[in-house]
Amino acid sequence: MASRFTGSAVIGSAVIDSRAWPCPTCGDMRMFVQPPCTDGHTDDGGECPEWACADCGAAFVIGDVSVVSDILRMRLAA
């Protein structure tokens, strides 16, 4: 899913990535932010596949199928 805008947003004192994508819940283009990753995806310099709509909170998991299945396995094991 390609975004029309990529950049950073400042929330409090944290700088987080943001991208514009169509939000199915809101019904139009919205900013999606990437909260701090607690699953370890960014430990090796990778990008976390989890994104959330800054307006309604709808969540996307975007990325390689192996990344998504790893996340699901980790959550089921917890």
pLDDT tens per residue across span 17-76: 788 989 989 999 999 988 788 888 888 887 788 889 999 999 888 765 555 556 556 666
- Number of domains present in the structure of the chain: 1
CB half-sphere exposure, 13, CA atoms < 13 A: 0
Judge whether residue 6 has pLDDT over 60. no
Judge whether residue 8 has pLDDT over 90. no
Three-state secondary-structure class, residue 4? coil
Residue 10: band (very low, low, confident or very high) from pLDDT cuts 50, 70, 90: low
Judge whether residue 77 has pLDDT over 90. no
Three-state secondary-structure class, residue 31? strand
So what's the pLDDT on residue 53? 92
Bridge-based pairing state of the strands 50-53 and 59-61 = antiparallel
Report whether 31 contacts 54 (CB < 8 A).
yes
Alpha carbon distance 26, 57 (integer Å):
10
| Domain range for 35 | 5-77
